[in-house]
């Protein structure tokens, strides 16, 4: 207790700014947990103090957002007999954060875990990427996809009462199944393209900045830019945005996301998918949503409002969140997904024959 208080004081004094905490890229073992392989540092080394402070803060945060791995049994007790629907974010959740967004591949192990989960529960991926891009990365067909932060959804051919039919197109997927494509930001497409071109033109002079076309929204990446150029990137983005009053800015992980100002986000996409999957009227549906970013908070909010479901934030650091549970990184997401699929297999095989 005393130690926690002391570490909070260190924190308040700004000792954090000297943090040397390595950002794990997902699938490597978590260094801080692997105490056996650590060279024991000097206890008074400022880095050790910072690392202890971070650990203590994280431990404290975990009391409000317990690990979904350590809470797994308890969660599954609540889930028994309920219809679980799984929602997954992509970047930072299924794939580790990497410098080059074009290289954010999903490891094969993760692909098989998602495949297993999708074989047991309806599963959807809701991403900020374009729907095609996220499909390319994931390469699974038995999964529903929502791209552009939910503004581009491919779903079963059941139009939810709450949605506007003018945004829906009935078509067939690659397997010949009827599907609905729902795109509530269609009318913004020409202007989105215009903004994309302007951003490309304006930011090309800043080394390390790239602009990603996510179809109904645009990402301006600055992870590979020099830190002293960050304000310039923001300034360029803001000046373009000022000319497009129907659009707004969201801040993600070293990315500025420009999107149309419509009342539609990942939370709406979650509700839309639940309806199209036929769970609108069920009181026993239990959505599980796993995500790492600010835009995932909209989905956490929906789960919180429903009063049923599990929201899980992927984070190595304590963060302000509406999520009830946490996982540290994509490697823990992988473990969670495998346990979930195994739990379902075991619970269906232990059912008495009828
Ligand atoms: O909703 P998501 O699937 O999490 O997408 C959010 C953004 O993710 C991607 O950017 C982030 O991941 C990149 C690859 O690891 C990383 O380089 C970048 O710094 C992160 O912000 C994606 O490229 C964006 O378009 C998405 O908006």
CA distance linking residue 103 with residue 349, whole number of Å: 40
Domains and CATH numbers, the chain: 72-184+263-348 (3.40.50.1000), 187-260 (3.30.70.1020)
pLDDT of residue 56 exceeding 60: yes
CA distance linking residue 322 with residue 128, whole number of Å: 19
* pLDDT tens-digit readout, 165-210: 889 999 998 788 899 999 999 999 999 999 999 999 999 999 999 9
For ligand 1, atom 23, the nearest C-alpha belongs to 101
Ligand 1 mean position to 117 CA, how many Å?
A: 23
Tokens of 285: 């549906």
Tokens of 51: 């690392």
For the beta sheet containing 218-221, the strands, ordered from the edge strand earlier in sequence to the opposite edge, are 210-213, 218-221, 255-260, 247-251
Q: Is residue 129 a contact partner of residue 259, using CB atoms and an 8 Å limit?
A: no
- Per the listing, tokens 């609905």 go with 180
> Cβ–Cβ contacts within 10 Å for residue 111, how many?
16
> Cβ–Cβ contacts within 10 Å for residue 213, how many?
17
Helix (H) or strand (E) holding 154, with range, is strand 152-155
**Using 50, 70 and 90 to split pLDDT, how confident is the model at 281?**
confident
CA distance to 52, 80, 82, 189, 236, per residue, from 198 (Å)? 46, 52, 49, 14, 10
Pick the closest to residue 286 from 146, 82, 94 (CA basis): 82
283 against 284, higher pLDDT: 284
pLDDT of residue 155 exceeding 70: yes
208 lines ligand 1 (CB under 6 A): no
Tell me the best of 23, 97, 101, 214 to mutate to test the pocket of ligand 1, counting ligand atoms within 8 Å of each CB and taking the most. Answer: 101
Query: What is the value of pTM for the model shown?
Result: 0.86
């Amino acid at each position: 207790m005393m130690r926690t208080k002391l570490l909070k004081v260190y924190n308040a004094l700004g000792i954090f700014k000297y943090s040397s905490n390595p950002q794990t890229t997902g699938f490597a073992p978590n260094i801080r947990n692997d105490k056996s392989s650590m060279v024991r540092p000097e206890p008074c080394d400022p880095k050790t103090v910072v690392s202890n402070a971070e650990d203590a803060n994280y431990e404290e945060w975990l009391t409000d957002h317990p690990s979904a791995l350590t809470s797994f049994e308890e969660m599954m007790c609540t889930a028994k007999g309920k219809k679980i629907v799984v929602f997954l974010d992509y970047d930072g959740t299924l794939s580790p954060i990497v410098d080059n967004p074009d290289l954010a591949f999903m490891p094969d192990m993760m692909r098989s875990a998602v495949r297993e989960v999708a074989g047991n529960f309806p599963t959807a991926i809701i991403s900020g990427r374009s729907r095609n891009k996220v499909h390319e990365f994931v390469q699974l067909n038995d999964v529903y996809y929502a791209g552009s932060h939910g503004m581009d959804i491919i779903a079963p051919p059941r139009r939810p009462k709450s949605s506007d039919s003018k945004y829906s197109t009935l078509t067939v997927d690659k397997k010949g199944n009827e599907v609905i494509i729902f795109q509530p930001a269609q009318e913004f497409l020409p202007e989105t393209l215009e903004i994309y071109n302007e951003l490309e033109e304006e930011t090309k002079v800043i080394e390390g900045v790239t602009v990603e076309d996510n179809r109904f929204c645009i990402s301006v990446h600055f992870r590979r830019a020099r830190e002293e150029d960050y304000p310039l990137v923001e300034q360029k983005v803001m000046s373009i945005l000022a000319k497009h009053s129907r659009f707004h800015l969201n801040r993600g992980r070293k990315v500025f996301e420009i999107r149309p100002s419509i009342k539609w986000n990942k939370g709406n996409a979650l509700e839309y998918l639940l309806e199209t999957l036929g769970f609108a009227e069920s009181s026993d549906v239990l959505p599980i949503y796993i995500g790492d970013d600010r835009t995932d908070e909209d989905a956490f909010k929906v789960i919180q409002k429903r009063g049923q479901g599990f929201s899980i934030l992927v984070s190595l650091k304590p963060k302000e969140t509406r999520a009830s549970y946490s996982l540290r990184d994509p490697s823990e997401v992988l473990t969670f997904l495998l346990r979930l699929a195994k739990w379902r297999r075991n619970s269906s095989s232990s059912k008495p024959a009828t």
